[in-house]
Chains A and B, each alone.
Chain A
Amino acid sequence: MPELVVNNLAKEYATRGEPLVVLRDVSLELSAGENVAILGPSGCGKSTLLHILGTLDEPTSGSATLQDQNPFELNEPQLAEFRNRNIGFIFQDHHLLPQLSVLENVLVPALADGSPSQEEIDRARELIERVGLSDRSDHRPAELSGGEKQRVAAARALIHKPVLLLADEPTGSLDRTNAQAMTKLLLDLQKQEKTMLMVVTHSMELASQMNKRLELGDGRLAAK
């Protein structure tokens, strides 16, 4: 039973002339424990798709439901909560808060609605351990390597056991060794957490390790 159902999703941007169509008629389904890589050249709309699925952007038409819920029907606070509870993000640029420690950074999503519970703190510690940084939990981002930062970002994305984990070029700024390690970590975590993982990448190496590979071209999604 697919938990993520995308139907005829389209995204256009108004310009002075014809509207710029970025996505057209995009449909896909993803079930728990599945992962998918979205490939395509720069500017093809990969990130746009990712952001729409992450509820950071809205489609022009079409629908997307996560566990049968259409997030685009929610108002801003409900949408924020939806995102907080169901979606985990990993970006090419880790976006860690430099003033916070590793542990605190992992706990940031827990601050979106009050203070973190003990359960959340315990989970954060567990995730840090799982990403191999248990001895660095009180370090600041400035004291971490690029790979380590990205691992913290991964742990942060998983703090609320999201249904959908979205990764936008997660290895884009890493060297090969670190990229491989990150890929392995992502897949391991996805497996352990039984979450859906969608990765937008240029990297064939990363894409090759995914269950599914879809290519975005001319705004349409096709299997590769």
Chain B
Amino acid sequence: MASGVAAATAVLVGALLVGDSVRESLRRQTLERLGEIDEVLVTDRFFRAELVDELAASDEFRRYFDQASPAILFPHGTVEAKIETGTSRSSSVLIVGCDESFWGFGGRASEDRVRPKQLPGEDEIVVNKALADDLNTTTGSEITIRLPSGNQVPADSPLANKTDRIRSIPGLEVVDVIPARGLGRFSLRSSQSVPLVAFVSIATLQDALDQEGKINSILTSVNFNSSSRSAKAEAMSRAASTSLAIAFRPAFEDYGLSVKRVTRAFENAEGKTETIYDYFTITSDRMIIAPEAEAAARVAFEPLRGQGVMTYLANTIGKEQSPHPSPLPEGEGEERGPISYSMVSGIDVSDEFRLLDLEGLPIGALAEDEIVLNRWSAEDQSLKVGDTVRVAYFEPETTHGKAQEASAEFAVKAITPLTAPSQPYRRRRPAEYDEPPTLANDPDLTPEVEGVTDQDTIRNWDAPFLVDYDLVRSQDDDYWGNHRTTPKAFVSLATAERLWGSRFGRVTSFRIPSTQDTTEESLKQAFLDEVASSGESLGLSFIPVKRQQLAASAGTTPFDGLFLGLSFFIIAAALLLVLLLFRLGVEQRADEVGTLLAVGLRRKKASRLLVAEGGLVAAVGGIVGVVVGVGYAWLMLAGLRTWWVGAITTPFLEFHWTTKSLAIGYVAGVVVSVLTIMWSFRRMKNISVRRLLAGDATAADDVLYKSQRWLTITSVVVVVIAIGLAVVAVGLGGMAQAAAFLGSGALLLTGLLLLIWTRLKSGGGRGDDTFAGGWALTNLALRNAARNPGRSVTTIGLMATASFLIVGLSSFRLAPSDAGAGGFDLVAQSSQAIFEDLNTQAGRQELLADQANVLAGGLAFAFRFKPGDDASCNNLYRSSQPRVISIGSQFVQHFDPADVERFRWMKTEARSAEEKQNPWRLLAKQEDEHIPVIIDMNTAMYSLKPPVSVGSKFTLTYDDNNSVSFHVVGLLENSVLQGSLLIDERAFEKTFEEVSGYRYFLIQSPPGKSHEVTELLEDRLSDQGFDAMQTSQVLEQLFAVQNTYLSTFQTLGALGLLLGTFGLAAVQTRNVLERRGELALLRATGFRRRRLARMVMLENALLLISGLATGTIAAALAVLPHKFTGEASIPTELLRDLSLMLLAVLVVGLVSSIVSVRASLRVPVLAALRGE
């Protein structure tokens, strides 16, 4: 009996220790990959490296921190190496630009401390082992890294350069390959997968990116033990975060802003200097001031009468519809046609900016459809006040990098004078005037755009958009020579914001009038004060990365619970053993109990004595169980590192234990066993003292068969319901169908067991000639099984339930299906954004040139991609910031036709027929601040904490404390999109305005060209780190997790079943002992030993086979329709494995029944016949 208790306790302890081990392994992995790094600042903009020293010098910082180091981090670099067979490439490589101080963050323990033998110098690189293996490279070889090229105009702006966004750093020599542990697996993402990391010097990156003296990250470590689990450490960590936020004081320039005083004065003929304008302009190195900075600037500068300016490029201004000029014969004056490539400023009329008309009268505020032209423009286009003018411009946001032209018409409200210079602009020298310039003579209303505003002629523009040089007339170039970026027209700021404002911002500069007290410094301070008081970080904030990742290491899956569930049958079988063995023990000592009762002990007291005795045995068994449990956990972990590694993706688990788990396992094991013992004793209370004294502790052995009409009816009803449910299930889909089939199978199982029960209860219901016509021994064995129907049905039930679950669960096994991939054969991700539309011929031409036709007849949808945690089953960490993918209208419309292959949905909020036909439409239905989101059900159920379902609303905090609220409108079923949140593209752009371009792709290759398309795209888009995979392969990887859990369950279930067979052997042995008189009689009547053995063996086999068959038949109902509908395929190997598993159980069961057979042969015939 102690062995039974030990088995139960071992399983409990083992499961709890597996949970401990997973949590502690994840935790240690977190501590290992972060070393001493506690808080980090990573941003996509560059700031002064001195900021690190300034931070480190702050008292507030030194209170809790002891180190701050500069770094340049790129989480999505691409690395290439030349190898013998060509070029090997790794994408999504973390590129770390660091100095020696970085390695100071290595773990305190010397075994964790990893640092390169040689720090990378100029043109040198250190890679971790994982990257070296992936690239198939080693020390001494040369590799190339490719990175995004740093601060730029947001790439989705038409004025941004799309082609020069990647910097390559070739010829880097690998000076060391460090092991992928400690800082060698440094990563800011919570994942158990080994990251690919490359380390270079900060200077190498600064040179390559033209960011001298600048960095984009700061790493810090606290001066206390932040890895401690204590509440005090947690509180200190939070206090440290607050302190760090106070200590961190970026300068004005660190926000990418600059301030400049703009003045224009004119010395008139009398030698008197007249100030035309004098103001400070605040601009951004990204051309447009980001919305958060704009909000701070407005508050900071409004008291100083500052005003926002939005200057935008007008492709044409004119009254004519034809955009193209009609050239006149040479030397015959100016060309006709609209004005090309002009600046138009949106600025409100104010006391500080009041344009005058040609009469010298101030121009009033402009209505939305009004425009002020400068004289040059009006004359050029022969426009006068009241005329309508048409302004053509690029839409402020591009889709797939294509600038779309739009236009607006305005009424000319006034014409403002513009003075022509006497000397035009020259390189490094402004224009000179003989006549006094006007307020409109202000090129500084336009922000600087490298390659455009600094060029001498329009024709020299290195423009990010396609300049139509046919539009550029000679007088346009003349204007550029005389006035450069001076606006040719003015509209109200509101109009400019409406037409040209975007998610990247609504103003290009702030214009603050110069006063006596205003200085560049005072303006900077005013801005910084506002930033500090508003609490906005403007993209520069620290993330408590260690605290977050330690919280995430609590894991997505409670492994202890999972393994308790997986070990259910072992526990049940162990308890059954406890029950049987204790009862056998008690029954053997029935005469002792009888004696105790006969001498006057109360039954309660007698039972307490026995229970106490059992408890004592259980206590000892429990101790053995704890020891065995440790071994069991170790074995489970070994399994997870090897056979079941699919469940956890990488073999990283190590054995860890806690006293708490040992104690809980021990107490739970012993208590459950004692309860089982008490329950088993309960059955003895109805046995008379006389019988107990005679050593008989079994229920009366007379068998009375009764009609079981009601039970028969019930069982038939249950079977009918089961079949009904199976019919209903055919109409259901996916998981619901599998669950319904399983439910129907479970009902069928119940029905079958009830039928067996009624049949046994009625003694088989056979006529008088039972033994005629062969099978006599089998019939006799069957009758023997019917002798104690309760015992037999319990045995059959245990076997049946176990085999039912083991077989039935295979219906939940997943195989990649078209519905999981929505009809797409490839899924791809790129390290850098791609702007071209692969669904258009032009886009294909641009990216694939002469190979564009390879994609002909295929589809390639691109998605914006906000990097984040992989919230799929592949990641064991809890994901707090899941990655987000935008769903564009093109993709949604793709699913409108009825005949298109589509994703399978688990549940949606679709109400209308259109929505039901295409639930992707739900994404566009945003009703409040919650963004409609579609999630794969696995992400919704297992990765998000708490789990969400359709209708759930939840809020996540993305970097820079950006809270985003979501509303789940649909759940995809087992899709390739698992691990991400899917939202509408417009909502995405608003929420993650910093994300430009497209990095995620779903591709439907032309039939049979999957491989060719993969090779082509990976080759042509190698700079962008394009990495494509077959959707079936991705699905297989995702499903491997669930499938492996099922394998684990099935294996552990089978183990439990095997343990159950030993219980069965014990039951049979008891049966044999109880019936020894009968067996002796059979011997006396001429039964040979062999025949008797065969009979007992047959009895065992009957119970075993009935159990396994009943369970398998019921499970077949759950599995087979599923297979026939083709919605889940059960691989032949699985069927083979299941059959082998059940066969093994049968064989072990039969072998273990030899015990009872031997017992039957050892029955002393004479003694038994005499009733001794």
Contact = CB atoms under 8 A, between A and B. Distances in A.
- Do A and B assemble together? yes
Interface in B1078-1110: 1078, 1080-1091
A116 B771 CA distance: 6
B1171 interface: yes
A147 B1091 CA distance: 30
Nearest to A82: B1086
Interface stretch (B38-46, B395-403, B782-790, B984-992): B782-790
Nearest to A81: B1086
A140 B704 contact: yes
Contacts of A107: 771
B1090 to A, nearest CB: 7
Contact of A110 (B771, B775, B1088, B1169): B771
Interface stretch (B16-24, B228-236, B250-258, B762-770): B762-770
Contacts of B780: 111
Given A57-B1166, A76-B1089, A89 B768 contact: no
A48 to B, nearest CB: 8
B1085 A141 contact: no
B776 A111 contact: yes
Contacts of B353: none
Interface in B785-803: 786-787
A51 B1083 CA distance: 12
Given A91-B1169, A98-B702, A112 B1086 contact: yes
B1077 interface: yes
Interface string A38-68: 0000000001000100101100000000000
A187 B1078 CA distance: 26
Name the residue among A101, A111, A114, A137 with the largest chain B CB count within 10 angstroms.
A111
Given A95-B1081, A137-B768, A143-B704, A83 B1165 contact: no
B1171 A93 contact: yes
Interface string B1049-1084: 000000000000000000000000000011011111
Given A57-B1166, A91-B1169, A140 B1085 contact: no
A189 interface: no
B1170 interface: yes
Contacts, number: 116
Contacts of B295: none
Contact of A76 (B771, B1081, B1085, B1088): B1088
A56 B1077 contact: no
Contacts of A219: none
Interface string A81-102: 1111100010101010111110
Nearest to A101: B768
Contact of A115 (B776, B1090, B1171): B776
Given A111-B777, A142-B702, A95 B1088 contact: no
B659 to A, nearest CB: 53
Contact of B772 (A83, A113, A118, A168): A118
Contacts of B64: none
Contacts of B1090: 77
B279 interface: no
B771 A112 contact: no
Contacts of A84: 1085-1087
A210 interface: no
Interface in A100-127: 100-101, 103-104, 107-116, 118, 121
B1087 to A, nearest CB: 5
B786 A99 contact: yes
A115 B777 CA distance: 8
Name the residue among B701, B1078, B1083, B1088 with the largest chain A CB count within 10 angstroms.
B1088
Contacts of A110: 771
B773 A109 contact: no
B702 A83 contact: no
B596 to A, nearest CB: 28
A104 B772 CA distance: 10
A104 B767 CA distance: 10
A8 B217 CA distance: 111
Interface string B739-780: 000000000000000000000000100011111111111001
Nearest to B780: A111
Contacts of B1081: 89, 91, 95, 97, 108
A129 interface: no
A81 to B, nearest CB: 6
Contacts of B1077: 93, 95
A197 B1091 CA distance: 28
Nearest to B701: A98
A49 B1003 CA distance: 94
Contacts of B705: 140
Contacts of B1169: 56, 91, 93, 95, 168
A80 interface: yes
B787 A80 contact: no
B703 A140 contact: yes
A118 B768 CA distance: 12
B142 to A, nearest CB: 86
Contact residue range for chain A?
35 or more
A118 B1166 CA distance: 32
Contacts of B776: 111, 114-116
Contact of A109 (B774, B1085, B1089): B1085
A139 to B, nearest CB: 10
A56 B1166 contact: yes
Contacts of A141: 702-703
B1086 A80 contact: yes
A211 B1091 CA distance: 38
Contact of B771 (A77, A85, A115, A160): A115
Given A115-B773, A140-B705, A77 B1086 contact: no
Nearest to B704: A142
A95 B1080 contact: yes
Contacts of B1088: 76-77, 80-81, 112
Nearest to B775: A115
Interface in B857-906: none
B771 A98 contact: no
A58 to B, nearest CB: 11
Given A56-B1165, A142-B704, A100 B783 contact: yes
A160 B775 CA distance: 20
B865 to A, nearest CB: 72
Nearest to B1089: A76
Contact of A83 (B783, B1085, B1171): B1085
B1087 A112 contact: yes
A83 B786 contact: no
Nearest to B1171: A93
Contacts of B703: 98-99, 140-142
A85 B787 contact: no
Name the residue among A82, A91, A99, A101 with the largest chain B CB count within 10 angstroms.
A99
Contacts of A24: none
Name the residue among B768, B1080, B1089 with the largest chain A CB count within 10 angstroms.
B768
A191 B1084 CA distance: 23
Interface of A: 47, 51, 54, 56-57, 76-77, 80-85, 89, 91, 93, 95, 97-101, 103-104, 107-116, 118, 121, 137-138, 140-143, 156, 160, 168
27 contacts: A47-B1166, A47-B1170, A56-B1083, A80-B1088, A80-B1089, A83-B1084, A84-B1085, A84-B1087, A89-B1081, A91-B1081, A91-B1169, A95-B1169, A98-B703, A99-B763, A99-B783, A109-B1085, A109-B1086, A115-B771, A115-B772, A115-B773, A115-B774, A115-B775, A116-B776, A137-B768, A140-B704, A141-B703, A160-B1086
Interface of B: 701-705, 763, 767-777, 780, 783-784, 786-787, 1077-1078, 1080-1091, 1165-1166, 1169-1171
Given A114-B776, A142-B702, 7 more contacts: A54-B1084, A98-B701, A99-B787, A108-B1085, A112-B1086, A115-B775, A141-B703
Closest 10 CB pairs of A and B: A84-B1086, A142-B702, A115-B776, A95-B1081, A109-B1085, A112-B1086, A98-B703, A80-B1088, A99-B787, A99-B783
